[in-house]
Chain A
Amino acid sequence: MLQTLKTTLLKVIDLTALGFLEPYVRLAYGEEPTKQLRKIGQFTVVPVLVIIAGLLVWATMISPNVKTKSGELPSPTVVASAAGSLHQFAIREGNKEAAYVATGEEREAWLADVEAELESIGAEVESANATVVEARKAEAASKSERIAPLQAKVDALKTAMKEERAAKQAALKEQAASLPVGDNPQRAAYLGELAGLNAWLDEQKAEIDTIDDQIKLIRDEKDPAVLAALSQQTAVAEREQYLKKMAEQLGEDNRQARVATGQEKLDVAKTTFFNAEGAAAFNAAKKVISAEERLAKTEESSYAKPATLYYQIQRSILCVFAGFFLGSAIAIPIGVLCGLSTTFMGAMTPFIALFKPVSPIVWLPIALIVASALIPDPDKHWFTQWMWELPLIGQYKINPAFMASAVTVALCSLWATMVNTALGVASVDKDHLNVAKVLRLGFWSRLFKIVLPSSLPLVFAGLRISLGVGWMVLIAAELLSSSEGIGKFVWDQFNNGASDSFAKMMVVVFIVGAIGLLLDRIMVVFQRLVSFEGSIAAV
C-alpha cells in the first residue's frame, strides 16, 4: 500500500516535471538518505538561497540606488505591502457587494459593527492628520534650517555678482568712450576685457548653480517621518471612507431597504388607483405598473462592483484560454493538412511567413474593428447576451474588447502549434504508416488512429509554446483594448502614477510570472501524457 503510494507519487512528480520533489519522497521512504539529502541541497536549498540572495540584492543594492525623477524602484517590502493593499481593496469591494444584498438580522448586526467602528475611527483620523501636520512642520523646519545658510550664500553671491557686473560694465562703457578709432591694440585689449568679464560671470553662475542644486536636493529629500505619517493617514482615511460606504450599503442604500421603499410606493400607488375615478384611474394604473416594474428591478439589482485584481486575473486567464483554443482550432487542422500534403504546405508557406512576425499591437486594432463591427451594440446583441447568461463565464461579461484580445492572442500564438503540427504529421514513423497500409486503413482512420496520435507529442510541444506566447501577448492586447484584465490593471496603474503604482506593477510582474509558470506546467503534464517511447522528448 505504502509502496504503491510511493510509486504513484514518483510518477506524478515525473509527469509534472517537478523533479525537485523526488528526493523528499525517497527520503520519506528512507531510501539512500545521504544521496537524497545531497539532491535536496542541490535542487531545493541552492535555488532558495539564490532567491534569497536575489531579494537581498534587490532590497539593499538595486532598489535604493535606482531613483529617477519619475519614481523609484520599489523595494521588496514596499511590493509586499502593495500586494497587501490590492488584496485589501478586493476584500473591501467584496464586502460592499455582500453588504448591499445583506438582509435581516445579519444586516443589522453588521451595520451595528460598522457604525461602532466608524465612531471610533474619528479620533484616529484626527490624530493621523495631526501627525502629518506635525511631521510636515518638523520637516519644513529642518529643511529651512539647512537651506537658509545656503540660500543666504546664493543671495550674497547673486548680489555681489550683480554689483560687480554693474560696476565692471559701467567701467567698460566709460572706457569705450575713450577708445581711439581704428584697428589697434587698445581695442583688442578692450575685447579681451569684455570676454574676461563674461567668463567671470559664467564662473559665478556656475558657483550659484552648484549651491542651487544643493538646495534642490535638500528640497527633494523625502522625510521618512512624513512618508510614514502620510501612509498612516491614507490608510486611516481610506478605512473611514470604506466604513462610510459600508454604512450606506447596509443602511439606506441596502437592497432590502430599497425594496421596502419600493413596496411602500407601490402600496401608495395602489391605494390611489383603487380610489381614483374616471381619467385619473388610467394615470394611477400606469403608476402602479411602473412602481411594480421598478420594484422588480430593485429586487434583482446588485452593487456595481469595480474590477478587483482577482477578477482581472480570472478574466485574463479566461481570455488567454479563449484565444488559445481559437488559435489551436485554426492551427491544428491547417497544420495537419500542411503535414499531409506538400502542395498545401507550399500554398500556406507564404502566408505563414508573412503573418508570423506580425506584432500583437498591429493585430489588435484590426481585431477590435472586426469585433466591434460584428457586435455593434453589446448590450443588446444576442451573442453577448447569450454569453452573459452562461453559468461560470457569464460573470466575466465577454465583450468585443475581450474578443479582440482573444483573437489577437490566437493570431499571435497559433504559429508554433501550426508549424509543430505540420512537422509532427510529416514525420510520422514510416513503420507506423506501413502498419496502416497493411491494415488498409482508410484516410480518416489513418489520420485519427495513426497520424494524429503519433504527432500529438509535437503538437503539444507546439501548444505549450503557443500558450506561453499567448500569455505574453495577452497583457499587451488587454492594455491596448482596455479589456478588463491584468494588462488593463498595469495600464491603469501606470496612469495612476501614484507613489505605490510601481510597487503594484511589480506585484503584477510576479503574478504574471507565476501564472505563466503554472500554465507551462499544465501543458508539460499534457505533453507528457501524450508522449510515448521514441517521441520527441518533453522538457
Chain B
Amino acid sequence: MGFLELNHVSKGYGPPSNRYEVLKDVDLSIEENEFVAVIGFSGSGKSTLVSLLAGLEQPDAGEVRMKGNVVTDPGPDRGIMFQNYSLLPWLSVYQNIEIAVKQVFPEMGKAERKTYIQGYIDMVSLTNSEWKLPAELSGGMRQRLSLARTLSMKPEVLILDEPLSALDALTRAVLQDEIIRIWEEDKRTVVMITNDVDEAALMADRIVPLTPGPAATLERSFAVTLDRPRDRTTLNFNPDFKKLRNTVSTFMMDLNEEAKSLRVETTYRLPDLEPLDLTKVG
C-alpha cells in the first residue's frame, strides 16, 4: 500500500443531463519520499487532480487515501503550492509565511517562530525582502515565497501544481535546481504537476502522464532511473535521458492524436456511433 493513493477516483462537474467528466477511474500509488511528476496537456484535469489530492474537493467515486486514511478535507500535512502562487497580497513576505506558521505550529514561541520563518526566507533566497508586498516581487520571487510558505508548514506530502509554468526559462531552471536541492536536503513525498517533459525527467523519480480530457485517466508510468544529483548541463547528452524523453514525448503525442480524433468524432456526434466503444479504444 502506497503512502498516498488514488483508488478508482472519478470526478465530474455539472448536472447529470450535461455532465462533464474530468477524471475517470484514476489509480495512482505514491511511495513515501517518492518524487512523482504528473504530466499532461492543458485542460486534461491536472488542477482537479491537485484539488482531490489536497482534499479541497471530494471525488464522485473512488477515494483518496493518505497513509491508509481517507482524505476528506484539506490540511497542512499536504502542503500545496498553487499554480498562481496564492499569496495574500495584503501581507508582506514575512507575514505570508507567518500566517501559515502560526496556524500549523501554534505552540511555537515568538523568538523561535521568528528564526524559523527567517530560515525559510533564507532558504528560498528572499533575504532582505521580508517586508516587501507580493506586488513588489518578481514572478520567480513570488513562486519562491509560495514554496517557502508551503515548506514552512512541514507537510508530509508536497503538492506542486505547475509551479514553474508561469516563469521564463532562466528563472525556471534556477527554481528547478532549488526545489531539487531543498527536496534532497529534506526528503519528503512530492507530487508535481507539470506540462514539461524535460522538467519532469530532470526532477522526478517517476513520470505519470495524464490522458487528455474529458474523462482523463492515468494509463501507465515511466520510472526515471537517472542518478542523482542530475546535472542539467550534462543531462542533455545522457542517452538514458534522451531515450526517456523520447518515449514519454511519443507517448504523449500519440495520446494527443487520439484525443484529437476523439474530439472530432464527438463534435459530429453521428447517431450511428456508439460512444462506449470509442471510449474503450481511448
A434, A439, A449, A453: residue with the most chain B Cβ atoms closer than 10 Å = A439
A440-B74 contact in complex given A533-B134, A533-B135, C-beta closer than 8 Å: yes
Inter-chain contact A530/B54, CB cutoff 8 Å: no
Q: Pick from A438, A453, A456: contact of B88, CB below 8 A.
A: A453
A453 to B56, CA, bound (A): 22
| Sampled A-B contacts (26; CB under 8 Å) | A432-B88, A434-B80, A434-B82, A435-B82, A435-B86, A435-B88, A437-B56, A438-B74, A438-B75, A439-B76, A439-B99, A439-B104, A440-B73, A440-B75, A440-B76, A440-B103, A441-B103, A449-B88, A450-B88, A453-B91, A456-B90, A530-B90, A532-B133, A532-B135, A533-B134, A535-B89
Asked whether, in the complex, the Cβ of A439 is within 8 Å of the Cβ of B134, the reply is no
B51 (CB) vs chain A CBs: closest residue: A434
B29 contacts chain A at the CB level, 8 A cutoff: no
How many Å from the CB of B281 to the closest CB on chain A?
36
Query: Which residues of chain A are within 8 angstroms of B134 by Cβ–Cβ distance?
Result: 532-533
Q: For B83, give the chain A residue with the smallest CB separation.
A: A431
**Chain B residues with CB below 8 A from A440, complex form:** 73-76, 103
Digit string of A504-539 for contact with B (CB within 8 Å is 1, else 0)? 000000000000000000000000001011110000
Interface residues of A in 429-447 (CB under 8 A from B): 431-432, 434-435, 437-441, 445
Bound-state Cα–Cα, A453 to B133, Å? 14
A454 within 8 A of B: yes
Q: Is B40 an interface residue (CB 8 A)?
A: no
**Do B54 and A449 have beta carbons less than 8 Å apart?**
no
CB pair B103 A445 closer than 8 Å: yes
Task: Tell me if B84 counts as interface (CB < 8 A to partner A).
Answer: yes
Q: Which residues of B contact A530 (CB under 8 A)?
A: 90
Contact at A439–B90, with CB atoms within 8 Å? no
Contact partners of B73 in chain A: CB under 8 A: 437, 440
A binding-site residues for B, Cβ under 8 Å: 431-432, 434-435, 437-441, 445, 449-450, 453-454, 456, 530, 532-535
Query: Is B218 part of the contact surface with A, judged by Cβ < 8 Å?
Result: no
Counting chain B residues whose Cβ lies within 8 A of the other chain, the interface size class is 20 to 34
Residues of B within 8 A of A434 (CB): 56, 74, 80, 82, 86
Does B100 sit within 8 A of A, measured CB to CB? yes
How far, in whole Å, are A440 and B99 apart by their CA atoms in the complex? 11
A534 and B86 contact, CB distance less than 8 A? no
Complex-state Cα separation, A336 to B78, whole angstroms = 30
Contact of A449 among B76, B99, B135 (CB under 8 A): B99
When chains A and B are docked, how far (Å) is the Cα of A434 from the Cα of B56? 7
* With A532-B89, A532-B133, A533-B89 already in contact, 20 other A-B pairs whose C-beta atoms are closer than 8 Å: A432-B88, A434-B74, A434-B82, A435-B88, A437-B73, A438-B54, A438-B75, A438-B76, A439-B76, A439-B103, A439-B153, A440-B73, A440-B103, A450-B88, A453-B91, A530-B90, A532-B134, A533-B133, A533-B135, A535-B89
With known contacts A449-B99, A532-B133, A533-B134, A438–B89 Cβ distance under 8 A: no
Between A435, A449, A533, A534, the greatest number of chain B beta carbons within 10 A of the residue's beta carbon is seen for A435
CB distance from B139 to the nearest CB of A (A): 13
Nearest A residue to B135, CB-CB: A533
- Chain A CB within 8 A of B79 CB: yes
Given contacts A439-B99, A439-B103, A453 and B90 within 8 Å (CB-CB): yes
**Within the complex, what minimum Cβ distance (angstroms) separates B124 from chain A?**
17
Q: Which residue of B lies closest to A449 (CB)?
A: B99
CB within 8 Å of A: which of B54-87?
54, 56, 73-76, 78-80, 82, 84, 86
Residues of B within 8 A of A438 (CB): 54, 56, 74-76, 78-80
Chain A nearest CB, measured from B40 CB (Å): 21
Question: What distance in Å separates the Cβ of A430 from its nearest Cβ neighbour in chain B?
Answer: 9
Please give me the residue from chain A that is nearest to B86 by CB atom.
Answer: A431
Complex Cα spacing A453 to B89, Å? 9
Complex Cα distance, B76 from A90, in Å, reads 66
The residue in A440, A445, A456 that gathers the most chain B C-beta atoms within 10 A of its C-beta is A440
List, in ascending order, chain A residues with CB within 8 A of B75's CB: 438, 440
Smallest CB gap from A453: residue in B? B90
Choose one: B74, B91, B135; the contact of A437 (CB below 8 Å): B74
Q: How far, in angstroms, from A456 to B153 measured CA to CA in the complex?
A: 27
Q: Which has the most chain A C-beta neighbours within 10 Å: B78, B100, B103, B104? A: B103
Counting chain B CB atoms within 10 Å of each CB, which of A438, A449, A454, A532 scores highest? A438
Chain B hits for A435, CB < 8 A: 82, 86, 88
| Residues of B close to A532: CB separation below 8 A | 89-90, 133-135
- B21-58 CB mask vs A (1 if < 8 Å, else 0) is 00000000000000000000000000000000010100
Q: Are B88 and A534 in contact (CB under 8 A)?
A: no
Residues of A within 8 A of B100 (CB): 439
Which residues of B sit under 8 angstroms from A437, Cβ to Cβ? 56, 73-74
A107 and B167 CA atoms in complex are apart in Å by 79
Contact of B86 among A432, A441, A445, A535 (CB under 8 A): A432
Q: Chain A residues near B91: list those with CB within 8 A.
A: 453
| A435→B104 CA distance, assembly (Å) | 13
- Minimum distance in angstroms from B59 CB to a CB of chain A: 17
A281 to chain B, nearest CB (A): 74
Complex Cα distance A504/B219, Å? 84
What is the minimal beta-carbon distance from A451 to any residue of chain B, in angstroms?
A: 11
How many Å lie between the Cα of A533 and that of B89 in the bound state? 6
Question: What separation, in Å, do the CA atoms of A484 and B135 have in the docked complex?
Answer: 47
Q: Which residues of A contact B104 (CB under 8 A)?
A: 439
* Contact residues in A for B133 (Cβ distance below 8 Å): 532-533
Nearest residue, chain A, Cβ from B79: A438
Assembled-state Cα–Cα distance A434/B80 (Å): 10
Closest to B82 in A: A431
A454: which of B78, B79, B90 is its contact (CB, 8 Å)? Answer: B90
Please give the distance in Å from A449's CB to the nearest CB on chain B. Answer: 6
Complex: chain B residue closest to A534, CB-CB: B89
CB distance from B133 to the nearest CB of A (A): 7
CB-CB nearest in chain B for A533: B135
Chain B residues with CB under 8 A of A449: 88, 99
- Determine the chain A residues whose CB is within 8 A of the CB of B76 once the complex forms: 438-440
Nearest residue (CB) in B for A435 is B86
When C-beta atoms are compared, the residue in chain B nearest to A442 turns out to be: B103
Shortest distance between the CB of A458 and any CB in chain B (Å): 13
**Contacts of B88 on A, CB cut-off 8 Å?**
432, 435, 449-450, 453-454
In the bound complex, how far is the Cα of B88 from the Cα of A456, in angstroms?
A: 13
9 tightest Cβ-Cβ pairs between the two chains A and B: A533-B135, A532-B89, A431-B86, A453-B90, A437-B74, A439-B103, A438-B74, A532-B90, A533-B89
Report yes or no: A431 in contact with B84, Cβ–Cβ below 8 A: yes
A65 to chain B, nearest CB (A): 55
